[in-house]
């Protein structure tokens, strides 16, 4: 049975997006509450809510399903408040850590932890989107005490938003996210702070940085109000992941000291295979992808002109990336196109417009 009455506690980016996606999916009535009255008002203005409630309890008391979308540090209290609002609503959350929260809830029959693996570098309900969850994994952590009909209700709701619900044990969730999300964020901060703390014979490393440093540190410095809580809440699993990472760094150091070219070749080959596996989750046929590199000036309208020109010729852009060099030097636009023939058509079109273009396989075979 579809959800008819939904409550959202916390109307930031994720909460507002839940409301917008729920309205698109046909939920009849969405009530919301946020301690930040301004955020609550913006969510209502955007159409994410039908009604703004004066308290979390008031928002949840008549709901079939309540989604708590507040910061990790507040989740335990806010989930407990939502569960206290009568005994009818199924309660879930969207937090990035699950183990400690699932162990602290007062009513384990009505609560099911949740975590949509998606988001945006933007913040606030003004950036909410009904499409945010399309194709995203949405972890659910049912407990042994969870009532089956409540799990079915939440599973169906998540699927109706366009996400892919995946059941997982809470502790396994935290180990998985420590490896795939929390560790990369921590390492991005380490690498960027390392480069930013040094001078090499008078040269500033950050001023001389190339695309590699930019690529691997894109998530560095992410919102500390969110990430401090995530790091501390999942500290044990993150420390374990860092320990395993340290062991692998030691292996690399030993290979470099021994000048072990064979080990390095196997190591790089293993990484290439793992990257291909990662990309196969995102693209239908990785081997078909071609990279069309275009040198572009730093001028308004250039990128939109290129994408519109390719679109007009029915050339589908699978993905793209811009590496900005400087206002004077412009940058390099890399467009991923499926198939050599389509990539060549794209190159011919752009060269006819005066651009310098290089075409190559997007991912080299090892």
| Region at 58 (left for phi over 0; alpha for psi -120 to 50; beta for the rest) | alpha
pLDDT at 240: 97
Report yes or no: 150 and 108 within 8 Å, Cβ to Cβ.
Answer: no
pLDDT at 1: 62
Average pLDDT on 311-319 reads 90
pLDDT at 322: 85
Average pLDDT on 27-33 reads 96
Residue written as tokens 């969510």?
A: 43
Q: Does the pLDDT value for residue 224 go beyond 70?
A: yes
In percent, how much of the chain has pLDDT > 90? 72
Report yes or no: 331 and 267 within 8 Å, Cβ to Cβ.
Answer: no
Q: Which structure tokens are listed for 192?
A: 């960027």
pLDDT at 220: 93
Average pLDDT on 201-230 reads 88
The band of 259, judged by pLDDT with boundaries at 50, 70 and 90, is very high
pLDDT at 366: 46
* Beta-sheet pairing, 330-338 with 289-296: antiparallel
Report yes or no: 317 and 346 within 8 Å, Cβ to Cβ.
Answer: no
Q: Does the pLDDT value for residue 196 go beyond 60?
A: yes
Q: Does the pLDDT value for residue 304 go beyond 60?
A: yes
Mean pLDDT (the chain, rounded)? 92
Average pLDDT on 184-201 reads 94
Q: For the segment 336-352, what is each residue's pLDDT rounded down to a tens digit?
A: 999 999 999 999 999 99
Q: Which structure tokens are listed for 251?
A: 């292996």
Q: Which domains does the chain have, with CATH numbers?
A: 5-168 (3.40.50.720), 173-259 (1.10.3660.10), 286-361 (3.30.70.260)
Report yes or no: 8 and 32 within 8 Å, Cβ to Cβ.
Answer: yes
Q: For the segment 116-152, what is each residue's pLDDT rounded down to a tens digit?
A: 999 766 788 999 999 999 999 999 999 999 999 999 9
Q: For the segment 81-91, what is each residue's pLDDT rounded down to a tens digit?
A: 999 998 899 99
Q: Does the pLDDT value for residue 365 go beyond 60?
A: no
Average pLDDT on 184-205 reads 93
Which of 87-91, 177-181, 317-321, 360-364 is predicted least confidently? 360-364
Report yes or no: 68 and 9 within 8 Å, Cβ to Cβ.
Answer: yes
Average pLDDT on 245-264 reads 98
Average pLDDT on 67-93 reads 95
């Amino acid at each position: 049975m579809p959800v008819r009455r939904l409550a959202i506690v916390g109307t930031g980016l994720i909460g507002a997006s839940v409301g917008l996606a729920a309205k698109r999916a046909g939920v009849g009535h969405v009530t919301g509450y946020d301690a930040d009255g301004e955020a609550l008002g913006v969510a209502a203005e955007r159409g994410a809510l039908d009604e703004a409630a004066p308290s979390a309890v008031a928002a949840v008391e008549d709901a079939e399903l309540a989604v708590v979308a507040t910061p990790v540090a507040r989740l335990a209290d806010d989930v407990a408040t939502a569960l206290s609002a009568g005994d009818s609503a199924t309660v879930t959350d969207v937090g990035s850590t699950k183990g400690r929260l699932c162990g602290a809830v007062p009513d384990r029959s009505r609560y099911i932890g949740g975590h949509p693996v998606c988001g945006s570098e933007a913040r606030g309900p003004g950036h909410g989107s009904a499409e945010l969850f399309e194709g995203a994994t949405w972890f659910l952590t049912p407990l042994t005490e969870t009532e089956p009909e409540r799990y079915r209700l939440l599973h169906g709701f998540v699927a109706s938003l366009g996400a892919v619900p995946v059941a997982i044990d809470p502790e396994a969730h935290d180990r998985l996210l420590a490896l795939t999300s929390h560790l990369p964020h921590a390492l991005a901060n380490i690498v960027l702070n390392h480069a930013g703390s040094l001078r090499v014979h008078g040269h500033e490393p950050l001023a001389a940085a190339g695309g590699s440093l930019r690529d691997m540190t894109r998530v560095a410095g992410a919102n500390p109000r969110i990430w401090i809580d995530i790091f501390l809440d999942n500290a044990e699993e993150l420390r374990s992941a860092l320990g395993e990472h340290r062991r692998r760094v030691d292996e690399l150091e030993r290979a470099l000291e021994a000048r072990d070219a064979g080990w390095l070749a196997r190591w790089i080959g293993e990484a290439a295979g793992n990257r291909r596996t990662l990309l196969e989750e995102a693209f239908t046929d990785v081997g078909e992808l071609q990279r069309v590199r275009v040198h572009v000036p730093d001028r308004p309208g250039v990128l939109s002109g290129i994408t519109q020109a390719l679109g007009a010729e029915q050339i589908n852009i699978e993905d793209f990336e811009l590496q900005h060099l400087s206002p004077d030097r412009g940058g390099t636009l890399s467009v991923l196109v499926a198939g050599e023939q389509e990539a060549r058509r794209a190159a011919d079109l752009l060269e006819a417009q005066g651009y310098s273009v290089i075409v190559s396989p997007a991912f080299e075979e090892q």
